[in-house]
Amino acid sequence: MKKTTKVNQRKNKFYVTTPIYYINDVPHIGHAYSTIAADTLARYYRRKLGKDNVLFVTGTDENSQKTINAAELAGQGTEEYTELTAEKWQNIFNTLDITYNRFIRTTEDDHKKTVQDILQKVYDNGDIYKGVYEGLYCVGHEAFMKEEDLVDGLCPDHKKAPEHIKEENWFFKLSKYQERLKHYILDNPDFIQPQSRRNEVLSFIETKGLEDFSISRETQEWGIRLPFDDSQVAYVWFDALLNYVTAAGYGTDKFSKWWPADLHIVGKDIIKFHCIYWPAMLWSAGLELPHQVFAHGFFTNNGEKISKSLGNAIDPIALVQKYGNDALRYYLLREITFGSDGDFSLQRFNEVYNSDLANNLGNLVSRLATMLIKYNNAQYNEVKVKPRYSYEDDIVKLKFHSCLAELFSWLDSLNGAIEENKPWELFKTDPQKTVEVLSGIACELLLIAQYLEPFLPEASKKIQAVFSNGTVVNAGVLFPKFE
């Protein structure tokens, strides 16, 4: 019998996560992208299910070796460093108007409890054993590397020679879950999306097979101690991934409301951990799997790979300071198909901003308001309008670009209706018809504004303040044009 999972939400709740970000990273557009996508869905589901039924979690990964190195470099104690830096991340997400319900830090007490409790369960279940790990370890990757992956003895991504490490560690029996996982993915087509990533994971399982992985380090001081061996700390995945469970209230009565998560949004570089390690870890701990893992693509900057050496990282804060949050959200979600790679170009950003936001949407709002003020004493008739596009089908499938394309072509047609009816001429012969036409357009615009709320929260709010309960106020300029 074939089981099918429903897309996302099964219960009347929605729990969405972003990856937790390495605390030592400089926040860039990729972080903003995952987080804005999750924020868009959180806003959509809050409208649909009520705000108490949505949980949106983001946060920082603080227990790795990278944290210790970064703190040393900054001349700070590790704890001091994580405090200051976590605050920086939160400030950035606040500036981006990200409506997270919890910003989780893996150094928090409840997370430490979760990690120890789950590790104990997995241990009791016979899935953890002691072995010797010997290999080439890249700190940048937080992973062991194979000789064949190196270029001139260096990690090709981090341009550093990996360290040779030999230590006695604890291992997780990932291999035990290989067949179960393969069948689960085959039986649940929505579990990994988009399709290309699902194929990638399946082919990984089939060609490479699942190898047990090390879950602890003895040489690292900073981190969460293993409950069954306090000489070692939990190694990254059995710490970081469990944040999703901690944030759902693991160990409290809230947990059954939120778990399993409805959606993990991740970058395509971490699907192996989210689609292979994570399900096996959850099964071993006796927990249900999330309904879906959705991996988005990466950006280039003007067609070039973004890298530290090129110094071409894109700062989301600089963009929103000039153009506003809605503009950044619009570009990222409209220009790039979610799930595919995309290009970021400042010139294109500016073009799209001017044509879609300043002209199409912004002009429509201000000219419509101006005409209603002039021709009908700042009043409009509240009429029932039919949606010309049902965007729910697309938004639940994370087709953000289709949603925005459709809603903006609907706006085009409203602009077209003004051009066709020429209210400034019509008013001279038929004032009543003029008011009818303009009212119809205002009510459709209001409906679009509601649909746009998850995508463009600021503009949506402004439009709903301009046209409200049959009364119109001056709209001002929603999106000032930039050369």
What span, in angstroms and rounded, lies between the C-alpha atoms of 267 and 352? 25
149 touches Zn ion by CB under 5 A: no
102 touches Zn ion by CB under 5 A: no
Contacts with Zn ion by CB under 5 A: the residue count is 6
Indicate the residue among 140 and 251 with the shorter CB distance to Zn ion: 140
136 touches Zn ion by CB under 5 A: no
Count of CA atoms in the C-beta half-sphere (13 A) of 345:
10
Provide the minimum distance between the beta carbon of 267 and Zn ion in the complex, in angstroms, as a whole number.
Answer: 16
What span, in angstroms and rounded, lies between the C-alpha atoms of 307 and 322? 24
476 touches Zn ion by CB under 5 A: no
Cα separations (Å) of 241 from 274, 358, 381? 8, 41, 53
Torsion of CA 387, 388, 394, 400, to 10 degrees: -100
Phi, psi dihedrals of residue 223, rounded to the nearest 5°:
140, -175
**Identified binder of Zn ion from the candidate list 16, 23, 128, 155, rule CB under 5 A:** 155
25 touches Zn ion by CB under 5 A: no
Provide the minimum distance between the beta carbon of 303 and Zn ion in the complex, in angstroms, as a whole number.
Answer: 24
Provide the minimum distance between the beta carbon of 205 and Zn ion in the complex, in angstroms, as a whole number.
Answer: 23
**Identified binder of Zn ion from the candidate list 13, 28, 48, 141, rule CB under 5 A:** 141
Amino acid symbol at 388: R
Piece of 154-162, 328-336, 364-372, 373-381 that binds Zn ion (CB under 5 A) = 154-162
Provide the minimum distance between the beta carbon of 157 and Zn ion in the complex, in angstroms, as a whole number.
Answer: 5
158 touches Zn ion by CB under 5 A: yes
Piece of 63-71, 150-158, 195-203, 422-430 that binds Zn ion (CB under 5 A) = 150-158
Give which of 462, 419, 461, 434 is closest to 372, Cα–Cα: 434
E runs forming strands in 159-289 = 163-172, 192-193, 213-214, 216-217, 225-226, 229-234, 263-267
**Identified binder of Zn ion from the candidate list 138, 234, 357, 364, rule CB under 5 A:** 138
Structure tokens that stand for 135 in this block: 């290999």
157 touches Zn ion by CB under 5 A: yes
Kindly provide the b/e burial profile for residues 58-93, where b requires at least 16 CB atoms within 10 angstroms of the residue's own CB: bbbbbbbbbbbebbeeeeeebeebbeebbeebbebb
140 touches Zn ion by CB under 5 A: yes
Provide the minimum distance between the beta carbon of 141 and Zn ion in the complex, in angstroms, as a whole number.
Answer: 4
Where do contacts with Zn ion occur on this chain (CB under 5 A)? 138, 140-141, 155, 157-158
